[in-house]
Amino acid sequence: MIQRHFKLALTAGRTIPLVIPANQYDSGEQWLFTLYDEHGDKFIPTTGAIVGIKSDSHAIINTGTVDSAGRVVITETTQMTAAVGKNIYELLIEDQMHGTANFIVMVEPRPGDDAEFSDSDLSLLEEAIQGTSQTAIIAGVQDWMDDNLTEPTEPIVDASLSLSGAAADAKKTGDEISALRSAIDGSVTELNLYNPNATYTQTNAVGDSRTGYTINSNIDSILYCIVSAFATTCLTFTAQNYGAKNKKRINKTLLYSIIQVTVVGFVCGVILILFIEPLSMLFMPENATNIDVILKVSRDLCLLLLSTYFLLGILSVISGALRGIGYSILQMILYIVGLCGTRVVWVYTAFPFWTSPVGLMMCYPVSWIVCIIFLGTARIVAEKKLKLIDTQKETV
């Protein structure tokens, strides 16, 4: 994929003479914009999009992403390069006009192509709006049009029409730009800004996933306090009976602790899952906008982790049993290999084929199972040391 790098200064009241050349119907390039504020300092946004008017008077909006270097990434589409001539665009940063950062895309006819360019497909605007949960983008589009466009002498589209109806009427009358404005004004309340059946491609998907993960962490910490109590109890009783050279009670402590932490961990996990939405709202940030999206991420992660959290309880109990009989160093090494090692391997092998928050967090239950196998094997091997305790006790 071809990448083109540009620098834009977000200077209020000033138009930046950035001209991007392109051929008609070009697509697939990535335009990377590095932003600077009025002081010349690099500006790193969390969201980015473009809106503009093409040379054929058709409006277009295209959502982008922000990469790890803080650059706004816009993927070139055929709709952006369909109209030959001067196409004026505006960057929407943080879902609003941040200073003035206009740029021009000069589209030249493709050599040897004498066909007329196609009309803008206004259905793409509907998809773009439905694909984002930022209502401020719509307000930004309207404000930009108010500043740059003139009102027609007569309204062309009835404001009561739905977005799809307005788009059809606009195409029938020549796609006048005022029709697009009327469609947005009359239909914005009807838009479903979050489509649960659509692919999750919002420009702030990373931020929403991070918020959903944070909420999930706050909830599963409740369950962690419960299961860790059984691990501490197992460690204490094992160490006491190891000092008293009572092998029977050591094994009984481990068995009872595993049974109890499994039952309690699973039941408590199910209870938390049943009340996941009200619990998630307790930890929801006050300035959150994509609440439905964040709740979905939190719900998916909690369903995965809370339903398998008893595995962590079993793991912690066996770990406590090993430490109680003097295998602290071995337990530490197995923890590092079983937990950390498994998760690193998962991220580099399985995650690329399951790129979603759930696919990433699946490394937790997988690593718990692997570590249980490691620690369980070590506990079986440690049985020889417990037999030595019986021998010493009989000698005494």
**DSSP assignment, residue 96?**
B
> How much is the average pLDDT of 123-151?
53
Tokens 């000033």 appear where? 14
- Phi and psi torsions of 232, nearest 5°: -65, -40
CB 53 within 8 A of CB 149: yes
When pLDDT is averaged across residues 220-235 and rounded to a whole number, the result is: 90
pLDDT tens per residue, range 264-301: 999 999 999 898 888 888 888 877 777 888 888 888 88
pLDDT in tens, 203-225: 455 667 788 888 888 888 888 89
Percentage above 90 pLDDT, the chain = 14
What's the pLDDT at 172? 53
**What pLDDT is attached to residue 120?**
52
Model confidence at 143: pLDDT above 70: no
- Percentage above 70 pLDDT, the chain: 68
Residues 307 and 270 sit within 8 Å (Cβ to Cβ):
yes
pLDDT confidence bin for 169, thresholds 50/70/90: low
Q: Partners of 18 in the beta sheet?
A: 103
What pLDDT does residue 191 have? Answer: 34
16 in Cβ contact with 34 (< 8 Å): no
372 pLDDT higher than 90 = yes
Q: Which domains does the chain have, with CATH numbers?
A: 3-190 (2.60.40.3350), 205-395 (no CATH)
DSSP states along 163-211: HHHHHHHHHHTT--HHHHHHHHHHHGGG--S--TTS----TTHHHHHHH
pLDDT grade for 159, boundaries at 50, 70 and 90: very low
91-131 residue pLDDT tens: 777 655 554 446 788 888 865 545 444 445 445 545 555 55
- Does the pLDDT of residue 259 top 90, yes or no? yes
Q: What is the mean pLDDT of the chain?
A: 74
- Please provide the size of the chain in residues: 396
Q: Using one digit for the tens of pLDDT, what is the confidence trace for 296-346?
A: 888 888 888 888 999 999 999 999 988 888 888 888 998 899 889 999 999
Average pLDDT over residues 162-176: 50
Q: Is the pLDDT of residue 369 over 90?
A: yes
pLDDT category at 64 given cuts 50, 70, 90 is confident
